[in-house]
A = this chain, B = another copy of it.
Amino acid sequence: MQNDLLLKALNHEIVPRPPIWLMRQAGRYLPEYQKIRSQVSFLDLCNNPELAVEVSLQPYNRFNTDAVIVFSDILLPAQKMGLELEFTDDGPRINNLISNESDIKKLTIPLANEDTYPTLTAINLLKKEIGEKVPIIGFSGAPWTLFCYMTEGYSSSNFNKAKKFLHSNPQASHQLLNKITNALFLYLTMQVNSGAHVLQIFDTWAGILSLEDYKTFALPYLKHLISDLMPLKVPIILYTNNSHHLLPKISMLKVAALSLDWRCDLQEVRDNFGTTIGLQGNLDPTILLTDETIVREKTKNMIQSVKNWQTGYICNLGHGVLPSTPVENVHAMVDTAFEFANEPVFV
């Protein structure tokens, strides 16, 4: 592979500069993305492999990112399991919520193939088109994060309905989490079979749980999923948003790297939980709403804050690129990481 910086960093090999890619690097802030979206709905875009490939490559073509993540959405497996999913201007919406055990029983665990998941075809096409140049990242949501949407129906700042379900029906919750985990295992396995070099699992809503509830309802399913995926020998990155209070647990998971948000100090995580822990992150995405000078300074500070960024560190945001982000600021962030190649290396 021409540019295997990401794979090297995930393998803790020494790199001349930190690899960089950005969560939601293909998205609404890019005019070329908007152009395609003006012709096709979000869901149709996810389910059209050729268009998904085109959109996935847009940030690579523009910025030369060190990875291409397949364009898709974490909620597609919920749809394939039997829920009615739509994307409105306000975000995703599931119309037939899970509200009891009988709803859970009705959910299917779909076979993961190209008919069910056009994303697999997209990964396959990406692999052919770009797989020799740069790693392709496949992904899914974490079981708990999918649980949130399936029981709440849409993005919420607190997911009160989801947590009410969890606390009122712990047994049914375990059944649902188990079913989601099985579906995700099949889906992620097929992503690797289709050509993904790396998997990222997004636990966007883990941070709303107490550590105790995380240990009961999120962690066991993550462990299960990660351990079942281990034989595929593909590095796994676990993204956990708002994760500071969960660090003692997530740092024990057998993943190649933890993708963290800006509430965590990267070096402190290494100091407290192991100096060789793989890390990804963690610039506050609102920094990218400012200007190039500020973006450059904050990106440089972030990279330098990791004492040994030469091993096991991947430059990224702490959450996805925001839709109102100026393109030149993304450029400034990516270029700042690139320029570390010219810095003297002390290892």
Distance (whole angstroms) from the CB of A220 to the closest CB of chain B: 19
Q: A284 to chain B: which residues have CB within 8 Å?
A: 163, 167, 210, 213
Which residue among A213, A285, A286, A324 has the maximum number of chain B CB atoms within 10 Å of its CB?
A286
Q: A287 to chain B: which residues have CB within 8 Å?
A: 167
Closest to A162 in B: B286
- Indicate if the CB atoms of B262 and A294 lie closer than 8 Å: no
Interchain CA distance A298-B210 in the complex, whole Å:
13
**Interface status of A109 (Cβ within 8 A of chain B):** no
Interchain CA distance A286-B159 in the complex, whole Å:
9
Contact A291/B163 with A245-B264, A262-B210 known, Cβ cut-off 8 Å:
no
Q: A133 to chain B: which residues have CB within 8 Å?
A: none
**Interface status of A290 (Cβ within 8 A of chain B):** yes
- Indicate if the CB atoms of B207 and A289 lie closer than 8 Å: no
**Interface status of A168 (Cβ within 8 A of chain B):** yes
Interchain CA distance A20-B158 in the complex, whole Å:
24
Q: A157 to chain B: which residues have CB within 8 Å?
A: 157
- Indicate if the CB atoms of A265 and B168 lie closer than 8 Å: no
Interchain CA distance A290-B163 in the complex, whole Å:
9
**Interface status of A263 (Cβ within 8 A of chain B):** yes
Q: Which residues 278-311 in A have Cβ within 8 Å of B in the complex?
A: 284-287, 289-291, 294, 298
Interchain CA distance A157-B245 in the complex, whole Å:
19
Distance (whole angstroms) from the CB of A148 to the closest CB of chain B: 12
Closest to A286 in B: B163
Contact A210/B290 with A157-B157, A242-B242 known, Cβ cut-off 8 Å:
no
Can you name 13 A-B residue pairings with CB atoms under 8 Å? A157-B157, A158-B286, A160-B322, A160-B324, A167-B294, A168-B289, A168-B290, A168-B294, A242-B242, A244-B245, A244-B263, A245-B245, A245-B263
Q: Which residues 119-170 in A have Cβ within 8 Å of B in the complex?
A: 157-158, 160, 163-164, 167-168
Closest to A323 in B: B160
Closest to A282 in B: B210
- Indicate if the CB atoms of B167 and A263 lie closer than 8 Å: no
From B163, B213, B263, B289, A164 is in contact (CB under 8 Å) with: B289
Distance (whole angstroms) from the CB of A47 to the closest CB of chain B: 28
- Indicate if the CB atoms of B262 and A164 lie closer than 8 Å: no
Q: A164 to chain B: which residues have CB within 8 Å?
A: 286, 289-290
Q: Nearest 9 CB-CB pairs, A to B?
A: A163-B286, A244-B245, A157-B157, A164-B289, A245-B263, A210-B262, A168-B290, A244-B244, A167-B290
Distance (whole angstroms) from the CB of A261 to the closest CB of chain B: 9
**Interface status of A211 (Cβ within 8 A of chain B):** yes
- Taken residue by residue from 156 to 195, chain A's Cβ proximity to chain B (1 for < 8 Å, 0 otherwise) reads as 0110100110011000000000000000000000000000
Distance (whole angstroms) from the CB of A327 to the closest CB of chain B: 16
Interchain CA distance A286-B265 in the complex, whole Å:
29
